Amino acid sequence: MSDLVYLEKDGNIAVVTLNKPERLNAMDETMWRGLGDIMKECDADTDLRCIIIRGAGGRAFSAGADIKEFETTRKDKKSALTYGDLTTYGFGSIIECRHPVVAQIDGLCVGGGMGIASCCDIRICGLSSKFGVPVKKLGLVEAHEEMRPLVEKFGANVALEILLVGDVFPVADALRMGLVNQVVPDDQVAATARQFAEKIADGAPLSARWHKKFIYRLLDPTPLTDAEIDEGFDCYDTEDFQVGRRAFVEKSAPEFFGR
Amino acid sequence: MSDLVYLEKDGNIAVVTLNKPERLNAMDETMWRGLGDIMKECDADTDLRCIIIRGAGGRAFSAGADIKEFETTRKDKKSALTYGDLTTYGFGSIIECRHPVVAQIDGLCVGGGMGIASCCDIRICGLSSKFGVPVKKLGLVEAHEEMRPLVEKFGANVALEILLVGDVFPVADALRMGLVNQVVPDDQVAATARQFAEKIADGAPLSARWHKKFIYRLLDPTPLTDAEIDEGFDCYDTEDFQVGRRAFVEKSAPEFFGR
Amino acid sequence: MSDLVYLEKDGNIAVVTLNKPERLNAMDETMWRGLGDIMKECDADTDLRCIIIRGAGGRAFSAGADIKEFETTRKDKKSALTYGDLTTYGFGSIIECRHPVVAQIDGLCVGGGMGIASCCDIRICGLSSKFGVPVKKLGLVEAHEEMRPLVEKFGANVALEILLVGDVFPVADALRMGLVNQVVPDDQVAATARQFAEKIADGAPLSARWHKKFIYRLLDPTPLTDAEIDEGFDCYDTEDFQVGRRAFVEKSAPEFFGR
């Protein structure tokens, strides 16, 4: 694992940093693999309750796939298919991670960076953040799985505008399109993302995991199995439910244990 | 049927009231069953043209499932599964009701109350209304069918924010998330909900029923059958279509009969 | 082909005009067929890069299906089924057209006009534009395929409000419902639609075609075939990708050839 993507833990919150600030955290092959590996590690760590993904340097969340690298890694269809496996691995590792993931968006969030942010569950950005997927200027196409989060989470109209018009656009448009949960002054993005993560971590962790799992499940129209329906009620046999119910009655703050 | 949920009819508009104002209309088992039974009764009454659901007392639409009752009704998974049948019955009775349903949201609309409102076709609220599904503080989870209206009607992002962050939030956020059709001063919520109901009732009732039916049908990706496609044209053999066409040509107000 | 719908080409941009201004471009059978035929012709013309659909006369995009004509063409279910084939042909020809389609909405955009606009990929309107599908006043129903674009692109809630309430509503509501990509002063609608079309035409045309195709494909939950997934990477073997990548590295404007 490279320090181009690194993981820090602070109690039950993990922070994953895309760390190539001199290239606005543009993603190379090592970084896609690193992001996926770290998210898999986070997924397996059941002590965690929330993950923040951010970019180093304050100027960008991520400028997307590193185009300078394309001469070798994406020079033709054959190499692009291999590269596609890596982006799919990175994107999927966020969506499949059992813990909620907050995108802390400082500055630029475009192309593959926008894809990473779309896979997150909550997006916080600054007033000067910019968004877009201007790949049409490269003669490039987002493959189905790369654009799926855009379509499933923001709708076909938003995906059409982002990909056909191809602009890099400001926060006013991001709000209109429903891309972000909260916009704050640039110097408060980190603190606000942290507040969201702490608020999520204060809730019952199993509730968060089941909610995330069930919401994404409902995007798939395949009928629910009996086992899946049954899982919707597992929470009532957990210790944390007893903790939560007692705290509610006693008007105290619940302390959850994740079991 | 209990007076904890009661039905009033005024011409072709029915008003269903959740009536436990001293508990902010928190839903107990009797109320879930009463809501479902009354909505089934309304569905069968083909003289109706629109239904308003409201909470008694002016302070809340509904505070959700009554947590005080959980010690008996939702104390473990086994009891929660039985309770889940009741909430599914209540929710389903609104969505499956042939008539359009308007939620008149005075004040608090949280948890199961938010679920009821989500199943309605139109939502009107006041400036001081508050929304949310803060069940993560209870160690609780919305089961798939309880959260389905949130995901299908407001999208995965909105469901993720509501359930993972778990805040009780004001109207500004409800507007951002697309939760409500109109916001008015608190003392105008009832009159506005009534205006919407009357406007709906002024239209051809069969149009309303088919439109509601077809829109929900399109949320299910199963291919339409030939019979379903054919039903999309049944309106042209109705009396009301002749009434409507004639009124349009004569520039008069149509009077529809629902046949 | 009638001059009730006509096609003009200006370089790689085509403009399709609904041309019955004295009836606010209300669509009759000839016009539905003409719209479909022209869009099919545009689809086959691989030199094109973007299509604008507009209404003649400046007062309306389209007032919808021409109700005066209903006495013959939609007088009962049998005739309405035949008419339905025509509207489905018109709507489908826009969605299936390989090129992006921009709706230039001057003034009124209601009923079938709203349906046409919904099938377009981008919608630009003026400050005084009005929207709605008030067919409930006619005792009429949008059949499944007529309302599908409303539900798939704007969501069930928006479709419920538009069809059940049945108002003709102003731009403020259109923005709230996410119906339009940009609103400009009335005298700038044509120029703005043109700017969007030119911006789209400046991108790699194959990118636009694949993006449009893939986004609509993802609205269908049928699993992607291997051939479809593979097509997501065809762009990397195109000349235009080499053009785009070189231009990016050289910081010059790419000139794409569509191959």
Are the beta carbons of A163 and A136 closer than 8 angstroms? yes
Q: Is the pTM of this model over 0.90?
A: yes
Compare CB distances from C200 to A70, A147, A165 and report the shortest one's residue. A165
Res C1: pLDDT: 47
Give the separation between CA C232 and CA C215, rounded to whole angstroms.
Answer: 11
Residues of A within 8 A of C240 (CB-CB) are: 139
* Residue B181: its H or E element: none
Pick among B94, B181, B243 to test the C interface (most C CBs inside 10 A): B181
Residues 6+ apart with CB under 8 A from B159: A215, B147, B150, B151
The residue in chain B having the minimum alpha-carbon distance to the alpha carbon of residue A101 is B164
Average pLDDT, integer, range A72-76:
90
Quick: pLDDT tens for C179-238: 999 999 999 999 999 999 999 999 999 999 999 999 999 999 999 999 999 999 999 999
| pLDDT over 70, % of chain A | 99
Interface contact flag, A166 C236, Cβ < 8 Å? no
For domain C5-201, give the CATH superfamily: 2-enoyl-CoA Hydratase; Chain A, domain 1 (3.90.226.10)
Give the separation between CA B174 and CA B164, rounded to whole angstroms.
Answer: 16
ipTM: 0.97
Residue with tokens 């009832």: B190
Give the separation between CA A223 and CA C203, rounded to whole angstroms.
Answer: 40
Quick: pLDDT tens for A213-238: 999 999 999 999 999 999 999 999 99
Res C86: pLDDT: 95
Residues 6+ apart with CB under 8 A from C200: A164, A165, A166, C49, C50, C100, C102, C122, C208
- What is the pLDDT confidence band of residue A57, given thresholds at 50, 70 and 90? very high
Residues of C within 8 A of A152 (CB-CB) are: 218
Quick: pLDDT tens for B9-25: 999 999 999 999 999 99
Per DSSP bridges, beta strands A13-18 and A5-10 are: antiparallel
Are the beta carbons of C105 and C189 closer than 8 angstroms? yes
- What is the pLDDT confidence band of residue A1, given thresholds at 50, 70 and 90? very low
Residues of B within 8 A of C146 (CB-CB) are: 232
The residue in chain B having the minimum alpha-carbon distance to the alpha carbon of residue A231 is B143
Average pLDDT, integer, range A178-188:
98
Å between C74 CA and nearest CA of chain B: 7
Interface contact flag, B237 C76, Cβ < 8 Å? yes
Å between B242 CA and nearest CA of chain A: 37
Helix intervals (H) in B139-178:
144-154, 156-160, 171-176
Give the separation between CA C52 and CA C194, rounded to whole angstroms.
Answer: 8
DSSP notation for C184-218:
E-GGGHHHHHHHHHHHHHHS-HHHHHHHHHHHHHH
Interface contact flag, C207 A84, Cβ < 8 Å? no
Compare CB distances from A152 to B141, B147, B156 and report the shortest one's residue. B156
Interface contact flag, C140 B181, Cβ < 8 Å? no
| pLDDT over 90, % of chain B | 95
Q: Tell me, what amino acid is at B184?
A: V
Å between B176 CA and nearest CA of chain A: 8
Are the beta carbons of A123 and C219 closer than 8 angstroms? no
Quick: pLDDT tens for B167-208: 999 999 999 999 999 999 999 999 999 999 999 999 999 999
Å between B249 CA and nearest CA of chain C: 7
| b/e code A183-217 from CB counts within 10 Å (16+ = b) | bbeeeebbebbbebbebbbbbbbbbbbbbbbbbbe
Interface contact flag, B212 C160, Cβ < 8 Å? yes
Interface contact flag, B139 A249, Cβ < 8 Å? no
Give the separation between CA C191 and CA A18, rounded to whole angstroms.
Answer: 41
Are the beta carbons of C135 and C249 closer than 8 angstroms? no
Beta bridge partners of B126: B184
Compare CB distances from A244 to B81, B138, B143 and report the shortest one's residue. B138
Average pLDDT, integer, range B212-235:
96
Are the beta carbons of C156 and B211 closer than 8 angstroms? no
Question: Is the pLDDT confidence value at C139 over 90?
Answer: yes
Residues of A within 8 A of C213 (CB-CB) are: none
Residues of B within 8 A of C80 (CB-CB) are: 233, 236
Question: Is the pLDDT confidence value at C67 over 90?
Answer: no
Q: In chain B, where are the structural domains located? A: 5-201, 203-250
Res B38: pLDDT: 98
Å between B98 CA and nearest CA of chain C: 12
Res A25: pLDDT: 98
Question: Is the pLDDT confidence value at C2 over 70?
Answer: no
Quick: pLDDT tens for A121-165: 999 999 999 999 999 999 999 999 999 999 999 999 999 999 999
What is the pLDDT of chain C when averaged over all its residues? Answer: 96
Pick among A135, A137, A141 to test the C interface (most C CBs inside 10 A): A141
Å between A172 CA and nearest CA of chain B: 13
Interface contact flag, B136 A208, Cβ < 8 Å? yes
Q: Tell me, what amino acid is at A152?
A: E
Pick among C74, C77, C87, C140 to test the B interface (most B CBs inside 10 A): C140
Å between A48 CA and nearest CA of chain B: 15
